[in-house]
A and B are shown apart, each in its own frame.
Chain A
Amino acid sequence: MNMMKRGDYILIIFLLLFAGVLFLHNMNNIQEKGTMVEIRFADEDPIYVSIDQNTTLDLSHGDLVNILCIEDEKVYMLESNCRDQLCVRRGEISLEGESIVCLPHRISIVILGTDKGDIDALSQ
């Protein structure tokens, strides 16, 4: 029976550490973000705001006016000068996966996080 050489142990330890690091790295990617509000304008990178922070955000771009409110863990579009006003009429959202979309102004607001809604998606 051949005994393992010292080098083998080092290699094994190294590989296990390597696997451990990759494991942790991937775990981070699996974990969901805390309850956050993702705000996206057209194809720009999104910005994230915590839902438990009461704030009013001015998302206006040039002549396109959109004012978003985050209040008591609820998010709603206070004001918009878009043609259809669907974003304002959408009212309050608070559960993961719920969204407010202002298509004319290409703005989307999506709630991310761990508070699971009852459904995975809405067919409409």
Chain B
Amino acid sequence: MGKRIFSILILTSFLLVSCVDSHRSMKEVVFVMDTIVTLDVRDHANEKLLKKMTDRLMEIDSLMSFSKEESDIYQVNHAKGESVLVDSSTYYVVKKAVEYTQMSGGCFDPSIGRLVALWGIGSDDEHVPSIKEIEEVVETIGLDKISLSEPNSISLMDGTMIDVGAIAKGFAADEMIRIAKEAGVESAIFNLGGNISVLGSKGSDSFRIGIRNPFSESDEYFGIVEVTDTSVVTSGNYERYFIDESGVKYHHILDPFSGYPADNELSGVTVICSSSIKADAFSTALYVMGLEKGLAFIEQMDDMEAIFVTNSRDVYLSTGLQTSFLLCDDSFRIPE
């Protein structure tokens, strides 16, 4: 009997200890991938796990950076048409990018690397290129310029460059979720420069994600989505832009067909999808498509929902969001 009590007490002690340890939460802020990343792990957190996450972010950055000379992407872009053996993560991201290009009819396209570099939006060299320069560079864009061969080899037509900057953060967010799940984490929220991924929920509540007001200089939001186990990614014309001498605003979401910043009635598009890399690609693609085509496209997708905000503050929601979106700024309206 004594032995039994003794065993029970020991077991209880250990359960008490392990139970409390599993509730340990930690938050980490890091600068990586040219942005600020917040890792908020709400249970099962420890230094080792957070270190593993930040190491992975650094690794993805050093593999997929457009400008770092040692990156896979830089090597592929400067191989003059030769095939380059890359890391399996880089290969996966480029392969996904190609898949999303096909799905979006080219509205999202990773082969716009030279176009991005030409405009230089967000860099010290941002400027409006000449029409001739743009026409030349648009010629280097297209899926026929990229060839992938298993396992892990990429070659580009000489002159073409790929830029996976638009989806590398999404991939990194998916990786954070994977690492957290593997460590037994049940609740976490990751913010990669405004690209949000959540794991689980906050106890019995969903996570509340604000959708940035595209017309505000500060972090105001016009609506909230309540989500669990998904990713919320927004692309907008307010993120990175410059204004030329004549007062025209040029933003960073480039239309692969025209070579100019996508010019339509939209000021922002948010995509909600359990795959953050996909949400990242399609927030760009839907922005380029514009409202009408974008709405029609999203309605055909089972695994994605979207919020479109127009320049006149009208908010359009895909069918699956009608009940989970909360408008909280009355200067915006949801048209009937």
Q: Which residues of A contact B (CB under 8 A)?
A: 1-5, 8, 11-12, 15-16, 18-19, 22-23, 26-27, 29-30, 38, 40, 42-43, 46, 83, 89-91, 93, 98-99, 101, 103, 106, 108, 110, 112, 118-124
Contacts and interface: CB of A to CB of B under 8 A. Distances in A.
Interface of B is mostly: strand
Interface in B28-51: 29-31, 34-36, 38
Given A26-B21, A90-B219, A120-B189, A4 B31 contact: no
B30 A43 contact: yes
A110 B20 CA distance: 27
Contacts of A27: 20
A47 to B, nearest CB: 13
Interface string B268-312: 001000000000000000000000000000000000000000000
A108 B28 CA distance: 12
Nearest to B241: A84
Contacts of B30: 43
A89 to B, nearest CB: 5
B6 A12 contact: yes
A46 B29 contact: yes
Interface stretch (B100-108, B112-120, B138-146, B231-239): B231-239
B210 A123 contact: yes
Given A23-B20, A120-B208, A124-B234, 19 more contacts: A15-B13, A16-B9, A16-B13, A19-B14, A22-B21, A26-B21, A26-B23, A27-B20, A29-B26, A43-B30, A103-B36, A110-B38, A120-B202, A121-B209, A122-B210, A122-B212, A123-B195, A123-B233, A124-B239
A119 B221 contact: yes
B122 to A, nearest CB: 8
Given A15-B13, A108-B31, A118-B224, A124 B219 contact: yes
State which size class the interface on B falls in. 35 or more
A22 B124 CA distance: 52
Nearest to A22: B17
A31 to B, nearest CB: 10
Interface in B1-21: 1-3, 5-6, 9-10, 13-14, 16-17, 20-21
Contacts, number: 123
11 contacts: A3-B2, A11-B6, A26-B21, A27-B20, A99-B36, A120-B207, A120-B208, A121-B198, A123-B210, A123-B233, A124-B239
A119 B224 contact: yes
Contacts of B36: 99, 101, 103, 108
A25 B14 CA distance: 15
A8 B208 CA distance: 51
B24 interface: yes
B124 A29 contact: no
B217 A120 contact: no
A40 B78 CA distance: 35
A92 to B, nearest CB: 8
Contacts of B318: none
B323 interface: no
Nearest to B16: A19
B213 to A, nearest CB: 9
B189 A123 contact: no
B165 interface: no
Nearest to B34: A103
A5 B36 CA distance: 59
A29 B24 contact: yes
A1 to B, nearest CB: 5
Contacts of A108: 29, 31, 36
B211 interface: yes
A124 B202 contact: no
Nearest to B193: A124
A103 B29 CA distance: 13
